[in-house]
Structure 1
Amino acid sequence: MAFQFKPYTPAAKYKAPAAYFSMEFALDQSLKIYSGGLGFLAGSHMRSAYELKQNLIGIGMLWTYGYYDQDRDAEQLMTPAFRHKYYSFLEDTGIVFPVVIHDAEVFVKAYYLAPDTFGTAPMFFLSTDIEQNDYLSRTITHKLYDPDTAARVAQSMVLGIGGGKLLDELGRQTDIYHLNEGHGVPLTFYLYEKHGRDLAEVQKRLVFTTHTPELAGNEEHPMKLLSDMSFFSGVPEDEVRRVARIEGDSLNYTLTALRFARKANGVSKVHGEVANEMWGHYAGICPIIAITNSQNGKYWRDPQLAAALKDKNDAALDARKQELKKELFKVVANQTGHLFDPAALTIVWARRFAGYKRADLILRDFERFKKLVTNNERPVQVIWAGKPYPKDQGAIDTFNGIIKMTRDFTRCAVLTGYELELSAELKKGSDLWLNTPRYPREASGTSGMTAAMNASVSVSIADGWIPEFAKDGENCFIIGHADVELPTDQKDDMESENLHNVLDQVVALYYDQPKQFLKIRKAAMKDVEPEFESARMAKEYYEKLYR
């Protein structure tokens, strides 16, 4: 029987039909098609769209080998592994259609995730790993963020062009096409060709979210490569250059999306300003507003912690936090052989490993760090977790360097397997959530939101979402950042010192004034909602971006 698309009945105020394109979605531990924060954000968006009954479809990619699995070698150092993933809960729609890549047809199959499976908006995932294709074409959807440039371009084409064609195959009217990051930018040229090469018609329908000032999130490729790969859906190169206002030899995904969209957004107030500074001087771009990222409370918050806060039962909140710490410490013991103490102050640094996020800032003054984790009167435990890009040797070296530097400290642990499940355990089992990016390079940084939902207090540089939330010493602790114009080493030295000064104060507070520390925990839990719960974000997308 042919696939019949029958989503839920949308709420009247969210009836405008929209489609949300993202290269990754973190929806459930069992569905390994994400790498980090972008996927976590997209997953929360899909959950809140379902809870609000928004007329939204998610379109992503079905990665045969996912991002990668974090394994350990004989010395307990991290090594990436790739394993074939199978998902019986995805419905094979039987919908197969061609996308032209390098002047040849590559066949794309669509798989469906029903809303009730994980409590999300209806979603479709695209795969080229099917028998109709030759081996090279099948590999396009093998690995998320394939390191090969041509493969990465082809992945963007499958998401953007394939996603646009899928909506046409379904016969679904779509008023708003929402590009989550620039990866799906070939959609712009597909729509441009579809609507008679009328830019205004595309701009009526397209909106765009830019997530990062980092180079990796703002891809740029030579025009010749893109033309050779049929990136432009049949639009002649001279017309592409004219309509996308390309002056040099390369096309920037973000800048192109900003020129084809009617409106775009950065993902925090700080990032909205940074994005306007980065792109605002270019001709022909759309307005860039700020819609701050957020996370889905129903998925992330521990129900017992939330109930204890609501009931004003401090004893129950403390007791539950101890239970959650014990659960996390079972993971620590299993992976590292270290037995952690649930009574000890526990700091967690956990997110995607990238140089600017500075996982090792706390180690920069090693003597102060050593004193911190060897003090028997006021014990402090530190846990790191996160996934480097598997070809980012610098980030992998940082990850493994932390293992080597801390392996002899019984109160330190570096965990592998940082996915949804471990992320939740770390947020629920930590006392402090450490966030140390180089200002102003963290566009949003949503992990601290879900930590706060679970009574873990942020110790953070005031970047991304933090300035919108922070009451220093009341619901979080701010690490002062140095002048951005200073040399990098000097900034890192100053901010390392600032970090340790803050931690000295927090350690004293935790052990000497436990009631005051509990008050800060509760303030973080109260203040993070509803402003940084993703229902607010999903509503704002309809109200501020889609209308």
Structure 2
Amino acid sequence: MAFTFKAPAPAAKYKTAAAYFSMEFALDQSLKIYSGGLGFLAGSHMRSAYELKQNLIGIGLLWTYGYYDQVRNPDQSMKAEFLHKQYSFLEDTGLIFPITIHDAEVHVKALYLAPETFGTAPMFFLTTDIAENDYLSRTITHHLYDPDTAARVAQSMVLGIGGGKLLDVLGRQTDIYHLNEGHGLPLAFYLYEKHGRDLAEVQKRLVFTTHTPELAGNEEHPMQLLQDMSFFCGVPEEEIRRVARVENNSLNYTLTALRFARKANAVSKVHGEVANEMWGHYAGICPIISITNAQNGTYWRDPQLAAANKAKDDTALLARKREMKKAFFKIVADQTGTLLDPDALTIVWARRFAAYKRADLILRDFERFKKLVSDDSRPVQVIWAGKPYPKDQGAIDIFNSIIKHTQDLKRCAVLTGYELGLSAEMKKGSDLWLNTPRYPREASGTSGMTAAMNASVSVSIADGWIPEFAKDGENCFLINHADVTLPDGEKDNLEADTLLTVLETKVVPMYYDQPKQFLKVVKAAMKDVEPEFESGRMAKEYYEQLYK
């Protein structure tokens, strides 16, 4: 039977038909098509769009091997495994259509995720790993963020061009095309060709979310490579150079998206300033506003904990928190053989693993750290988790060095397999959520939001979303950042010292000597995080500020 797409009836104020393109979506622990924060954010957006009855569909790629499975070598260090993934809950639409990559026909197949499966907007996932393609074409959608440059470019083309073409094949009238980060940029050229090579027509329809200020996240490739790979949908190179205002021999995805979109958003107020500073001086870019990232409460918050908080039942709240810590500590013991105490102050550092996020900052003065976690009168437990990019040897080395440095400390543990499931357990099972990025390089960072929903208090550098939320000592604990003009090593030393001082002089004494005051901070964090940092607010703002 032929597949016909029928979207759920939208709420009156969300009738504008939008399509959201993202390289990764974290929708459920069982669907392994994401690497970290970008996917977590996209997943929460899809959930809130469903709850608000927005006329939005999501378009992503179905990664045959996912990102990777993080396991251990015999010495406990990290190992990446790539396992073939299969999903019974994705519906084969039977839709297969060609796109051109490197002057050759590549067949793209669409699979459908129905809204009721995980409580998301309707979603389509594209794959090239089908019998109709030769082996090389099949590998395009094998690995999320493939290390090979040509493969990465081809992946962008499948997302952007394949996603644009899918909407046409479905016959869906789409008013707004929303690019989540620059990965799907070829969509801009697909629309440019579709609308008679009229830039203004593309700009009427295209909006863009820029995320990381990190160079690696703002892709740039030689024009010659992109032209050879048919990246521009048949538009001649001279014309691309003119409309995209290419000034040298390479094309920057973010800058080009800002020139083809009618409006863009940064993902926090701080990031809005950083993004305007980074891109604002270039000619022909669209306005960049700020819509702060957020996370979906229905998915992330523990219902019993939320009910106890709502009922103002402190006894029930504390009892539930202790239960959640015990449940999490069973996972820690199972993975590492480390037994932890549910009554001890527990710090967690967990997120996508990249050097600038500084997972090891707390270890910088190791003797002082050792003293902190070895005090039997006021025990402090520290747990880490995160997935480095499998080819980022620097980040992998940091991960492994944390294992090596802490393996003889009975109150420390490093976990592998940081995905949705473990992330939720870590937020529920921690008292403090540690966030130590190098300011101002964290565009938003949302893990502290879902931690706060689960009675875990942020100890954080004031970067990304934190300045919009933070009341130091009232709903979180701030680590003052050093002068940004100092060399990185010097900054790290100063901020590591500040972090340990905050823990030693404020947090540990409050937890053990003033438990009522600590509980007050916990409850303030739970109250202040919603609705401001719940993704219903974000999804509404996309319609009100970006799509209209």
TM-score bracket, shorter-length normalisation: over 0.9
- What's the offset of the Cα at 1:119? 0.2
Where does residue 386 of structure 1 map in the other structure?
386
Aligned to 2:257: 257
- In structure 2, the residue matched to 1:512 is 513
AA aligned to 1:149 is T
**Paired residues of 1:61 and 1:125 also in contact (CA < 8 A):** yes
Q: Counterpart in 1 of 2:18?
A: 18
Matched, 1:88 2:72: no
State how 1:414-453 maps to structure 2 within 5 Å. 414-453=414-453
Following TM superposition, by how much is the alpha carbon of 1:7 offset from its aligned partner in structure 2, in angstroms?
1.8
| 2:402 counterpart residue number | 402
Q: Report SS of the residue matched to 1:383.
A: strand
CA distance in 2, matches of 1:35, 1:109: 22
> Would the aligned equivalents of 1:329 and 1:339 in 2 still touch at CA under 8 Å?
yes
> Whole-Å Cα distance in 2 between the matches of residues 166 and 94 of structure 1?
12
Alpha-carbon deviations, 1:147-175, whole Å to 9, x = none? 00000000000000000000000000000
Residue 278 of structure 1, CA deviation = 0.1
Residue 246 of structure 2 corresponds to which residue in structure 1?
246
Contact preservation (8 Å) 1:103, 1:229 = yes
The match for 1:346 is 346
| Equivalent-residue separation in structure 2 for 1:244 and 1:333 (angstroms) | 54
**Matched residues in 2 for 1:234 and 1:10: separation?**
36
Gaps of 5+ in 2: none
Matching residue of 2:330: 330
How far apart, in 2, do the equivalents of 1:339 and 1:18 lie?
Answer: 49
Shift of 1:217: 1.1
Deviation at 1:241, TM superposition (A): 0.1
Contact 1:7–1:115 (CA<8 Å) still a contact in 2? Answer: no
How big is the shift at 1:206? 0.2
Report the aligned-residue RMSD: 0.3
Provide the residue aligned with 1:197 in structure 2: 197
What is aligned with 1:532?
Answer: 533
Q: Give the secondary-structure state (helix, strand or coil) at the position aligned to 2:474.
A: coil
Query: Aligned ranges for residues 128-139 of structure 1 at < 5 Å?
Result: 128-139=128-139
Q: Taking structure 2 as the reference length, what is the TM-score of the superposition?
A: 1.00
Shift in Å, 1:59: 0.1
Quote the Cα distance in structure 2 between the aligned partners of 1:222 and 1:369. Answer: 46
Alignment of 1:42-441 (within 5 A): 42-441=42-441
Deviation at 1:216, TM superposition (A): 1.6
Greater than 6 Å deviation, 4+ residue runs: none
SS for the counterpart of 2:99 is strand
Deviation at 1:124, TM superposition (A): 0.1
Partner AA of 1:184 in structure 2: G
For 2:354 and 2:73, locate their aligned partners in 1 and report how far apart those are by CA, in whole Å: 21
TM-score, normalising length: structure 1: 1.00
State the Cα deviation string for residues 265-308 of structure 1 (Å, max 9, x = none).
00000000000000000000000000000000000000011001
Q: Which residue of 2 aligns with 1:476?
A: 476
2-structure distance, mates of 1:74, 1:455: 35
- Deviation of the 1:325 alpha carbon: 0.2
Size of the alignment, in residue pairs? 547
Counterpart contact for 1:469–1:527, Cα < 8 Å: yes
Distance in 1 (CA, whole Å) between partners of 2:414 and 2:99 is 43
Partners in 1 of 2:508 and 2:253 — Cα distance? 45
Kindly state the Cα deviation for residue 464 of structure 1 after the two structures are TM-superposed. 0.2
Structure 2: how far apart are the matches of 1:518 and 1:306?
14
Among all aligned residue pairs of Structure 1 and Structure 2, give the percentage whose two residues are the same amino acid.
83
3-state SS of paired residue (2:86): coil
CA–CA distance in structure 2, aligned partners of residues 254 and 67 of structure 1 = 23
Deviations 1:22-73 (A, max 9, x none): 0000000000000000000000000000000000000000000000000101
Q: Which amino acid aligns with 1:191?
A: L
One-letter amino acid of the counterpart of residue 291, structure 2: I
For residues 429 and 86 of structure 2, what CA distance do their matches in structure 1 show? 31
Give distance in 1, aligned partners of 2:488 and 2:28.
38
Q: Does 1:38 align with 2:38?
A: yes
Match of 1:521 in 2: 522
For 2:487 and 2:5, how far apart are their aligned partners in 1? 56
CA deviations 1:360-397 (Å, max 9, x no partner) are: 00000101100011000000000000000000000000
Q: 2:461 matched to 1:458?
A: no
